[in-house]
Amino acid sequence: MAAEKQVTVLDLMAQASASTPGPGATMPAAQAPPPDEGLVERVERLTAAVEQIPDPRARAVAEELFGAVLELYGEGLERVMELVDEHTARAMAGDGAIASLLLIHDLYPVSLEERVLEALEGVRPYMESHGGGVELLSLEDGVARLRLEGSCKGCPASSATLELAIEKALEEAAPDLLGLEVEGVTKPPEGPIVPGVPLPLAPVPDWTEVAGLAQLPAGAHTAVKVEDRDLFVANVDGTLLAYSDLCPSCGSALAGGEVAGGILGCPSCAVTYDLPRAGRAVGRDDLQLGPVPLLREGPATVRVALR
């Protein structure tokens, strides 16, 4: 599966204003605010107006002027980065407004590969919770090639793992990444397949923070309601796993079941599910819980993604 995107200067500014990339342990603990949203919107609005100038010659002159001014500021930033030490450079990268400009001019002090690798490390616990992993095969011309490993490969949860966990982490840590290619992804079809008609891509939902889950102790489980979804969340050996609170065998809630060694028993029909193996039914290939992507961000924040 491949995902290519065209990245413009304004794309990078908008993405960088939303989150500043960089290795968390090496960046300053407190980051300065991102660029003023009103200013970014003004630049976008004026750029769109330039693109609508009917006179092609006037439009070309305006675009050339915009590029020349951008190049001038880029040269100045490059000289500044040559004069400062590593500590100051990383402090500058911790400022959202400065970071967006450094990304535009390819001057960010942390390499793209470092940021991609850190993003993958951030989602590794979720991948491992489904019995799999992710490996960076190559990073060439701004395009990252990844491979899913283990039981994640070919699992229906793999597409969610890719589209939600991996893509979100990469967009935040490396907004200047130009493309993503992933091996080992199986996209489950929705509805009947019509030959010659491409399947629609599922929309990528937002991540929602869930209060209290970060404090769930190992061996414990709980039921939570997020928006309109009932979820079952368990802490198995220090890893939080989330599923739809619904037994696919009998349709009952899972919240009253017992979890031992990562195995959940349905309180109504006694079918058991292996939580670390993406919720597959033990001894049955026709049943599986509905996995819900979950990410821990620091010691106190847990987010889930709902379709």
pLDDT digits (tens, 9 = 90+) for 282-304: 998 889 998 888 877 777 888 88
Cα gap 32→96, rounded to integer Å = 6
Answer whether 0.85 is exceeded by the pTM.
no
Q: Are 232 and 294 in contact (CB under 8 A)?
A: no
**What residue spans in the chain does CATH classification 3.30.300.130 cover?**
112-183
The CATH superfamily label for domain 207-305 reads: Rieske [2Fe-2S] iron-sulphur domain (2.102.10.10)
pLDDT digits (tens, 9 = 90+) for 90-125: 888 878 788 888 888 888 888 899 999 988 988 787
pLDDT of residue 235: 93
Sign of CA dihedral 133, 135, 141, 142: positive
pLDDT of residue 204: 46
Confidence of residue 130 (pLDDT cuts 50, 70, 90): low
**What residue spans in the chain does CATH classification 2.102.10.10 cover?**
207-305
Class for the domain spanning 112-183: alpha beta
pLDDT digits (tens, 9 = 90+) for 38-53: 887 888 888 889 889 9
pLDDT digits (tens, 9 = 90+) for 162-212: 556 788 788 878 888 888 888 765 544 444 433 333 333 344 456 788 988
